[in-house]
Structure 1
């Protein structure tokens, strides 16, 4: 018999808040975490804005000396994981560590370390690299360091599916719990890629916004959108089987009732124009949950602020939700945080959980100009109080990866 799976802890570090409470408060108010790039990045005269973490003090939760030996993406993951563990009130001494897992990914991993090493090698042929170079670079080390810190000896791995990474991570954790392989799992994603290399690469793809106005840079579904804003951060969730959570008297934030992963098999960066496989993923989660399309109250859209992505996501939503698409409330967290790449799905999952818990939907900020192709209700500029029984989170990644999660309000 399948297990029910619930969310019992959350942690976040984002451009609009360094914990879940601050992130959610600012998301509800439509606070913009985007700012001028200043002199932070060299060699790129096109990108004018970024969405960085602000006022970050690692010593609030972690050993600063220990974190100096990590790439920032691993530090962010550990920082958010510590909040999630504390939030869940897990007694690590009383759980079965062999059934305690970690699935935490990153879209690009240790880009800060990579850039640092490249710069050293360019200066001299005889540079001696640190023995920590590879452990800092590789993408599995966020999960590895979390597992080491908390003694999680169950399945531990890192999913890498570009911007769908942490939605796939949460979904894979859900499946392991649902089918009885784990009791508890730390899951999510982390990213720190505000670097010359990452910005240069995405600029070459013409994927990044080039405006110099932070208020009109990340504008999903707005007719004037022209690219995403690079952000950074991490989102971590503690998932448990319902039996495990109830046995220890845990507070339950929401239940996960559906997950699907499909692939466009179409293009390395562009989504399939008819949104067919994205729509298939959304339909799959409805089927798994055993609900009809008109029972969904809210969709946290992938909503990157790129021309094609937002239009195709709108097409896919209409395909699945038919006439109910116009009753749905849809919003994009990226309008405030920018695009956190591999961390975005987990942060947006947290927004969905909070929407279910508090019956509140955060806005799509900075929305001004209506687009005939994007004609749904994107909750422009002002959040709304509304009962949310089912919330869906969409993620799309380069390579044609589609991932969808469905959360249900916990009623005990």
Structure 2
């Protein structure tokens, strides 16, 4: 059975729609910022915050009360539905959203915890029960786009949105649903996450944009935490063709697994990511790898292992995290949408800012490359050891 994408939507730093996303990818625009006093002890930090006002949402009293992660998820979902031109009446629709921290980084959540710890119970807002429930994000997105059927939330760290696609495909293939609205949303930036990641030495504290949060560069000391939401519409090929949909591409497969080690450890072998990428490519030769490399040396070295063992460094690699950072649970869906745009517009987005120091033997794309793109493999890795890889193809009528 062939599963195709018929629509997409996005909300990311300085990126309100697909057109802006395409422009930024093609032109290698850096959407990250050095934030002074963004570190745990007043140091600088590199982040990718969404700083735009949400006027069209905050003008609605009910929407204004929602977590930021929910708001940007609604915007992305609405754009995806509009892009697909689908009429969901009389169809079995499923909504599948991935997240990593949900609304746990939002001010209301943080304040409520403090009030509770101080036994100031009257100050704990009634909305806290919804903010602390990850599934509340998906449920509220479902309400605002009119989905009452299958509504699922996937919480597996940075791989969440890719694994949401994996689950959505199973529902489509089984016939339980006709349409899948699937993606991820995360707004993880706050003091708690900054302090926690700083303790593990995985943030680019006191580094410039030339040094830090740079994939495939030895000098980078960590990743740029960012915010984003992305959503795609998936359908079975026959239904999409029957309604004359504008098919963006084919989702061939998603494979996920776990390193199976203690969560306070790191798997330096990369064995399970290599296994997932090997399985999802299944002997195919992708035109390039849309990599999860993000500026953490261990992760990026595992990508180098994948490149050598599976492709002998002959397949081009790139990482859009050099532009957009790592929006945790939304990172995979951003990679999928960028891959779909690649096969539509025939280009490889660049890994900007890197000098390839320490990764010279890899075939890393540092300038936008226009060529025929028919197939793209995607790699993704998350906190707690989950790995997920996807394979995207150009759609051709049979």
- Sort the Cα spacing of 1:161 and 1:269 in 2 relative to 1 into closer, same or farther, 3 A: farther
Shift of 1:399: 1.4
- Select between 150-159 and 100-109 the one with higher mean Cα deviation: 150-159
Shift of 1:211: 2.9
Separation of aligned partners in 2, 1:169 and 1:331 = 23
Number of equivalenced pairs: 395
Aligned to 1:85: 81
Separation of aligned partners in 2, 1:260 and 1:271 = 20
Aligned to 1:394: 379
Aligned to 2:125: 130
Aligned to 2:61: 65
- Select between 337-346 and 260-269 the one with higher mean Cα deviation: 260-269
Shift of 1:270: 5.1
Structure 2 segments unaligned to the other structure (5+ residues): none
Secondary structure of 2:124's aligned partner: coil
Separation of aligned partners in 2, 1:253 and 1:16 = 23
Aligned to 2:298: 308
Aligned to 1:173: 168
Q: Is the 8 A contact 1:270 1:398 kept in 2?
A: no
- Sort the Cα spacing of 1:114 and 1:57 in 2 relative to 1 into closer, same or farther, 3 A: closer
Q: Could you tell me which of 276, 291, 308 is aligned with 1:318?
A: 308
TM-score w.r.t. structure 1 length?
A: 0.90
Separation of aligned partners in 1, 2:257 and 2:309 = 16
The alignment status of 1:105 with 2:95, answered yes or no, reads: no
- Which digits, 9 at most, give the CA deviation of each residue in 1:33-84, with x for residues without a partner? 1113246x5854244221111424340x675322222111111111111111
The alignment status of 1:75 with 2:86, answered yes or no, reads: no
- Select between 225-234 and 205-214 the one with higher mean Cα deviation: 205-214
Task: Summarize the alignment of residues 5-404 of structure 1 with structure 2, pairs less than 5 Å apart.
Answer: 5-38=3-36, 44-59=41-56, 64-92=60-88, 94-96=89-91, 99-110=92-103, 111-112=105-106, 113-121=108-116, 125-268=120-263, 271-287=266-282, 292-293=283-284, 295-321=285-311, 323=312, 326-372=313-359, 375-380=361-366, 382-404=367-389
Secondary structure of 2:307's aligned partner: helix
Q: Is the 8 A contact 1:231 1:339 kept in 2?
A: yes
TM-score w.r.t. structure 2 length?
A: 0.93
Secondary structure of 1:283's aligned partner: helix
Separation of aligned partners in 1, 2:23 and 2:47 = 21
Separation of aligned partners in 1, 2:53 and 2:264 = 32
- Which digits, 9 at most, give the CA deviation of each residue in 1:154-193, with x for residues without a partner? 3211111111111111121122212322211111110111
Separation of aligned partners in 2, 1:297 and 1:145 = 38
- Sort the Cα spacing of 1:356 and 1:7 in 2 relative to 1 into closer, same or farther, 3 A: same
Shift of 1:386: 1.6
- Select between 305-314 and 44-53 the one with higher mean Cα deviation: 44-53
- Sort the Cα spacing of 1:117 and 1:25 in 2 relative to 1 into closer, same or farther, 3 A: same
Secondary structure of 1:127's aligned partner: helix
- Select between 156-165 and 241-250 the one with higher mean Cα deviation: 241-250
The alignment yields a C-alpha RMSD, in angstroms, of 2.0
Separation of aligned partners in 2, 1:125 and 1:154 = 39
Separation of aligned partners in 1, 2:274 and 2:202 = 23
